[in-house]
Amino acid sequence: MTEEIKNTTNDRRHFLKNIALGSAAIGGAAMGLFGNSDPSTGLFGVQKANAADDARLKMAFIKYATDTVSSAWSKGIEDVLTPQQIVDYKLLDGQGKAEVQVSLMDTLISDGNSVIFLQPVDSVALAPSIQKAKRAGISVITLNIDATEAHAAHVEMNHYFGAMDIAKAMGDAMGGKGDVAILNAPPGIIIRDLRTNGFVDGMKKHHPEIKIVADQVAEWSRKKAQDVLATILAANPKLGGVYGVNDAMALGAVDVAKDKGLIGKLVIFGNDGETGALESIAAGELTGTQFTDVHQQGRFAASAAVVLASGMVPATAFKKQGHLLMPYVIATKDTVGQITPAQRW
C-alpha cells in the first residue's frame, strides 16, 4: 500500500471529525457567523463596518479547465460567499495548463486575495505557487486534486474508497470474471493514482479473477476516450468492462459501445456523477458512477474559506493540512433515482 493510500486510510479515520468540522463550517456560514467576533462581547456576525470601510475580501477559484465539475463547485462556493456580502469572488480558467495557473496564482497573490481555491493541473507544478501564497499569508484551499505542498485545506471526493466500491459493483455486474480496461487521466495528479489504485485494489479484494488488460490515458476527454477505447477493443475483443476515471471518459466509452452494439454487454463505470452520466445510467447505457454532491463540496470549501478569511482561524494555526473527504453514492440503475434534482449538477 502506498504512502498516499495510508494517508487516505488515516483520513478516513478522521472522516467523522472532518465531517463535523465541515458541517460546523457550513452551518456557521449559513448563519453568518464568520465575521470577526467581538472579544469583549463575544458577539458574532459579519461586521458591516468592514464593507463600509472598504475592507472587502477577495477570493478566487482557479479551475483546471472549463468543465461541469468546476462550474458546479463554483456555484456551491458562490452559494456561501454571496450571502456574506463582503466577499468579491471571481472564477478563473486555468486552461488545463500548469503555467497558466501559476501565472494566475501570481496575479491573485499580488492582488491581495484572502483565499484562493485551486484545482491544480499538476500536483507538483503548483506547489511553488502555493508556497508563495502561504508566505503572503494567503490561504489556499484545493479541490479534488491535492498539491504536494501542504496548504490550508483540501476538500475532495472520496477517490480511493469510491474507486474500490466501483470495482466491487463492476465485478458484481460482470459476474466476477472477465477483462476490464481503465481509461485514465494524465499522470502527475494525485487523484489519478487514488482512483486507479482504489480500483485495482478493489478488484484484487472483491473480484480477484477479473483481469485489468489495459490502462491508457484518455486525458479526461470524451472524444479521446472514444479513440482510445476503439483501439483497446481491437486488441481485446472479449473486453467485459471499462472504468473511466471520470464521467466524460466513461461516456466516451458508452459512445463506442453504442456504435459497436455492445450496450448491455459491456459494463461501463464512470466517476464524479455529473448529470449527463446519471441520465445515461437511467437510460440503461452507462452501468454506474460514483456520485458526489459537488455543489455541497464547493459549499464546504467556501465555508472553510470564510472561517480562514475572517481572521478568527489563521491558516498558520493549521498544524496539519485540513482534509475533508466527501460522502458519495455508487449510482446504478437501482440507486440513481435517489439522487434529487437539487443534488444534480
Partner 1 sequence: MQRRPASIALLAFFLVTVGLFCLFAPNFATTSNFENLMSGFSFVAILAMGQSFPILLRGIDLSIGAMVALAGMVAFDLTMLFHVPGYLILPLVLIAATGAGAINGILIVYLRLQPFIATLATLAAYRGVVYAISGRLLIPKLATTPITDPWIVGIETYFDIGGALGISDYVHLPWFPLSFFLMIAIFITFQLLLLSTKLGRDIYTVGGNQEAARLAGINTRRITIFTYAISGFCAGVAALVLVARLTTSTEALGTGMELTAISAAVIGGVSLQGGIGSMFGPVIGAFLLGVVLIGLTLLGASQYVQQILTGAILLAAVCYDRYLVVQRQRRAAANVGANT
Q: Which positions touch partner 1 (CB under 8 A)?
A: 2, 90, 92-93, 95-99, 102-104, 106-107, 109-112, 121-125, 127-128, 148, 186-190, 192-193, 217
Nearest distance in Å: CB 47, partner 1: 22
**Residues contacting 23, CB < 8 A, separation 6+:** none
Q: Quick one: which of 165, 142, 166 has its CA closest to 153?
A: 142
* Residue type present at position 35: G
Pick the closer one to partner 1 by CB: 2 or 316: 2
Distance CA 181, CA 56 (A): 50
Nearest distance in Å: CB 194, partner 1: 11
Pick the closer one to partner 1 by CB: 103 or 275: 103
| Backbone φ, ψ for residue 331 (5° rounding) | -85, 125
Nearest distance in Å: CB 234, partner 1: 19
Nearest distance in Å: CB 42, partner 1: 35
Pick the closer one to partner 1 by CB: 92 or 115: 92
Residue 13 half-sphere exposure toward CB, CA atoms < 13 A:
5
Nearest distance in Å: CB 79, partner 1: 20
Pick the closer one to partner 1 by CB: 97 or 344: 97
- Whether 101 and 120 have beta carbons less than 8 Å apart is answered as yes
Alpha helices in the chain (DSSP H): 3-13, 15-30, 48-52, 68-84, 98-110, 127-135, 159-173, 190-206, 222-235, 247-259, 275-282, 294-309
Pick the closer one to partner 1 by CB: 2 or 338: 2
Nearest distance in Å: CB 107, partner 1: 5
Nearest distance in Å: CB 153, partner 1: 19
- Cell 440503461 belongs to 284
Pick the closer one to partner 1 by CB: 2 or 10: 2
Pick the closer one to partner 1 by CB: 96 or 327: 96
Which helix (H) or strand (E) covers residue 119, if one does? none
Residue 306 half-sphere exposure toward CB, CA atoms < 13 A:
35
- Cell 468592514 belongs to 50
**Residues contacting 293, CB < 8 A, separation 6+:** 326, 327, 343, 345
